[in-house]
Chains A and B, each alone.
Chain A
Amino acid sequence: MEQSNKKATTHNIGIYLWIWGLLFVFSTFSYLVDWYDFQGLLRWSLIIFFMLIKAGLIMAIFMHLYWERWAIVNVLLWPMTAIIVFVSIMTAESQYTFFTRALFFVMGG
């Protein structure tokens, strides 16, 4: 790697402390979801909502993705669609497995 001796321009310390604080707040919120024992759709949507916000903040600010050029951002984020596709495939698969198991336990094969 090339040695760069000039001081690089960096971001204000404030933004890191802000994100740090926000991560604490959102982690507390997601913990409170369990604390107040929310169930069903409300629980799942809140968990995913807080999870995505935290993940977004970490990637955008802490990992500097917000300031990177689009070339690398796109290369990193588009493969995530493959994961979503995989999740939907395995959801269908697991429902089918559950169905055959339930059928087996009820009918005895």
Chain B
Amino acid sequence: MSEIDLSKLPKGGKGFAHDFAADQTIFKGVPWGKSMMWIFLLSDTFIFSCFLISLMTARASTTAEWPYASEVFGLEVFGTNVPLLLIAIMTFVLITSSGTMALAVKYGYERNRKMCAWLILATAVGGLTFVGMQAFEWTKLIFHEGIRPWSNPFGAAQFGSFFFMITGFHGTHVSIGVIFLFIFARKTFRGDFDTGRRGYFTSMKSDYRAIEILGLYWHFVDLVWVFIFAFFYLW
């Protein structure tokens, strides 16, 4: 694949028609890894949508009272119950890790190896913190509040299964992301993206564009949390 001079191609709607009418490739200037990541994320969007839509369906069709998330997920601080405190902190941690990831991508493209690697590491630590807090939340809800997938003391029995399914699936995504972030931090520190050292699993050469692709996944995890925060915790 040779580099395409995107500035010579038509833009906007005309560019859309031009790219779709082209032979060989549609997504001009997009590395195949990036378009495949986008398509994977699109399919993942549909999975999360199905979860959230079924949550909507269950909640709208049950005649039982739906548990009030604000109280269920409240946290006791110095004797007062603060609603959704842990969830709010988790949200800020995930946004922060998304910010460091965006900067890591930027420094990667500027070939600032050290800065890029440290920022990826910071992102990984943020993700790990998020997973840790989620583990704390689950422990609290399972062992102290008695929430089960089939019943809970707060209201509609379906609540537990949706909670564990949706936050569990999201937490799995975060955990996988954290693993890859640590791997990529090591690769970046070692200079794999400067020397073109072949990957352990793929045995392919890679460059700093790989960090943007990893970044897409990580931002998507943050993006999904925005929707979960809105529809599960706040609604």
Contact = CB atoms under 8 A, between A and B. Distances in A.
B60 A94 contact: yes
B53 A79 contact: no
Interface in A1-59: 1-4, 7-8, 10-11, 13, 16-17, 19-20, 23-24, 27, 30-31, 33-35, 37, 43-44, 47-48, 50-51, 54-55, 58-59
Interface stretch (B95-103, B133-141, B166-174): B95-103
Contact of B16 (A23, A51, A71, A91): A71
Chain A's interface: helix, strand, loop or mixed, by majority?
A: helix
A66 to B, nearest CB: 13
Interface in A45-82: 47-48, 50-51, 54-55, 58-59, 61-64, 68-72, 74-76, 79-80
A11 B11 CA distance: 19
Nearest to A99: B61
A1 B84 contact: no
B204 interface: yes
B226 A55 contact: yes
Contacts of B13: 70
B230 A58 contact: no
Given A16-B102, A58-B226, A102 B212 contact: no
B227 A7 contact: no
Contacts of B57: 90, 93-94, 97
Contact of B95 (A24, A69, A74, A76): A24
Interface in B186-215: 196, 204-210, 212, 215
Contacts of B46: 79, 83
B227 A55 contact: yes
B226 A54 contact: yes
Interface in B105-160: 106, 109-111
A4 B46 CA distance: 34
Q: Number of contact residues on A: which range applies?
A: 35 or more
A83 B230 contact: no
Contact of A13 (B11, B88, B103): B103
Nearest to B30: A72
Given A72-B30, A83-B49, A91-B60, A64 B84 contact: no
Contacts of B60: 91, 94-95, 98
Contacts of B30: 68-69, 72
Given A2-B3, A51-B230, A76-B42, A7 B110 contact: yes
18 contacts: A1-B33, A1-B205, A2-B1, A4-B3, A7-B109, A10-B106, A20-B95, A24-B95, A27-B229, A47-B230, A51-B229, A59-B223, A63-B215, A68-B30, A71-B26, A74-B16, A91-B60, A94-B60
Closest 3 CB pairs of A and B: A97-B61, A71-B19, A94-B60
Interface of A: 1-4, 7-8, 10-11, 13, 16-17, 19-20, 23-24, 27, 30-31, 33-35, 37, 43-44, 47-48, 50-51, 54-55, 58-59, 61-64, 68-72, 74-76, 79-80, 83, 86-87, 90-91, 93-95, 97-98, 101-102, 105
Given A1-B205, A30-B230, 12 more contacts: A8-B110, A10-B106, A11-B106, A27-B88, A27-B91, A27-B92, A34-B70, A50-B230, A69-B6, A72-B27, A80-B45, A94-B56
